Amino acid sequence: MGNIVAIVGRPNVGKSTFFNRLIQRREAIVDSVSGVTRDRHYGKSDWNGQVFSLIDTGGYVKGSDDIFEAEIDKQVILAIEEADAIIFMVDVESGVTGMDEDVANLLRKQDKPVLLAVNKVDNSKRLENAVEFYSLGLGELYPIASTSGSGTGELLDALIEILPELEDEEESELPRFAVVGRPNAGKSSFINALIGEERYIVTDVAGTTRDAIDTKYNRYGFEFNLVDTAGIRRKSKVKEDLEFYSVMRSVRAIENCDVCLIILDATRGFDGQVQNIFWLAQRNRKGIVILVNKWDLVEDKETNTMKEYERRIRSEIEPFTDVPIVFISVLTKQRIFKAIETAVEVFKNRSKKIKTSELNERMLPIIESYPPPAWKGKYVKIKFCMQLPTPQPQFAFFCNLPQYVRDPYKRYLENKLREEYDFKGVPVSVYFRKK
């Protein structure tokens, strides 16, 4: 899934500022996601067309009595072991410190390429002072200023040169469905129930699954790759070192799938963490199916209990409410095949291509009957529309004054597209361009 670059160093040298600058270099910003312990983030960046994942590690402090610092140190070591390349950041203002030397000693033991970035070099005097970091014995140094971005281009050019070449993976034409959710929501049991074998270890201990695992599914007329991921947990709940990577691989599984099957525990509800997973999938423009598992364990069910439960979920995911919700029980296999049928339908909706002529025949009369409201005395005239050649549904509407189209009208057109064409479970993007 791409190279991994770890940013390491002692506390307060500017790692997070540098990290934030890198992930925002993408034209389409990919959110960074808070991770395991304090000051832990990961995200995606690219430079000159090469995409890589970034780990922003916490500050490394050898021998600290602080229990949090000790935990961060463990994770820094794991990040170094996981990474394909390392950016070691130091601070020109403070010069070489004992902690810098500790990190350098740790890095010299690794058989990984290391780039030494000297931060806060924003004038000629500091550039002269940066040379003292050659004493760390890590080769060439790269003076940068992470706040302004000075020098980061040269550093990233060097990074791309040292990243190992990735083997070309065979692109499968099969859809990829990622099974995601909180730990212990029933993800592995769901897959076991589908494939009819105990392929995955299933226990009542959260966090059993450590990696994202692909399974080819070919039964009952359906064929796709099913991806089981480790449960995503809030960073305050994560205790084990390995779980940091479980979270990262789950996020990357979402980024690289077509449809997310978000499994939640009916007895816990659509809580904040499940909502975070939902919005992560939505921001990545993935198809989404919400599966409410353990419905058989909900007590005191009445005639409208399911409808009320569904209403509460939809109120939490507004305005993107056109999402299928399926109530299942993995234990009794209740409606699990309905869940797969729904996921296949969402995949087809996401892959749908509409001819430009047909799109204009349907949408232009709708626009004519209700044109964009005037804004600041300006009248917008939409003349033409088309679907963009992207993996997910995106539509461009060409008009004379795109800057005067307000968000409510964009949502109106999105709703009309959903009425005319079935895009259930799929985020739809609407853009206005100058004709």
Does 296 belong to an annotated binding site? Answer: yes
Residues in the chain: 435
Residues 6+ apart with CB under 8 A from 73: 60, 61, 62, 64
Does 64 belong to an annotated binding site? Answer: no
| Helix, strand, or coil (residue 355) | coil
How far is the C-alpha of 351 from the C-alpha of 425, rounded, in Å? 12
DSSP 430: E
Does 184 belong to an annotated binding site? Answer: yes
Burial class (CB in 10 A: 0-12, 13-18, 19+), 180: buried
- Sign of the dihedral defined by the CA atoms of residues 99, 102, 107, 108, in that order: positive
Does 230 belong to an annotated binding site? Answer: yes
Residues 6+ apart with CB under 8 A from 211: 230, 245, 246, 249
Q: Residue 311: enclosing H or E segment and its boundaries?
A: helix 305-316
Does 74 belong to an annotated binding site? Answer: no
CA torsion 361-366-369-372 (nearest 10°) is -120
Does 121 belong to an annotated binding site? Answer: yes
Query: Which conformational region is residue 12 in: left (phi greater than 0), alpha (psi within -120 to 50 degrees), or beta?
Result: left
**One-letter identity of residue 89:** M
Does 60 belong to an annotated binding site? Answer: yes
List the one residue out of 344, 339, 332, 338 whose CA is nearest residue 295. 332
Does 13 belong to an annotated binding site? Answer: yes
Does 294 belong to an annotated binding site? Answer: yes
Does 231 belong to an annotated binding site? Answer: yes
Does 185 belong to an annotated binding site? Answer: yes
Q: Are 320 and 177 in contact (CB under 8 A)?
A: no
How far is the C-alpha of 230 from the C-alpha of 210, rounded, in Å? 5
Does 137 belong to an annotated binding site? Answer: no
Does 228 belong to an annotated binding site? Answer: yes
Which residues make beta-bridge pairs with 382?
399
Tokens 């000790």 locate to: 70
Does 9 belong to an annotated binding site? Answer: yes
Does 122 belong to an annotated binding site? Answer: yes
Does 295 belong to an annotated binding site? Answer: yes
Does 256 belong to an annotated binding site? Answer: no
Does 149 belong to an annotated binding site? Answer: no
**One-letter identity of residue 45:** S
Does 95 belong to an annotated binding site? Answer: no
φ, ψ at 314 (rounded to 5°): -65, -30
Does 15 belong to an annotated binding site? Answer: yes
How far is the C-alpha of 112 from the C-alpha of 122, rounded, in Å? 29
Does 338 belong to an annotated binding site? Answer: no
How far is the C-alpha of 145 from the C-alpha of 127, rounded, in Å? 11
Does 182 belong to an annotated binding site? Answer: yes
Which residues make beta-bridge pairs with 434?
399
Burial class (CB in 10 A: 0-12, 13-18, 19+), 398: middle
Residue ranges of the annotated binding site for GTP are 9-16, 56-60, 119-122, 181-188, 228-232, 293-296
Residue ranges of the annotated binding site are 9-16, 56-60, 119-122, 181-188, 228-232, 293-296
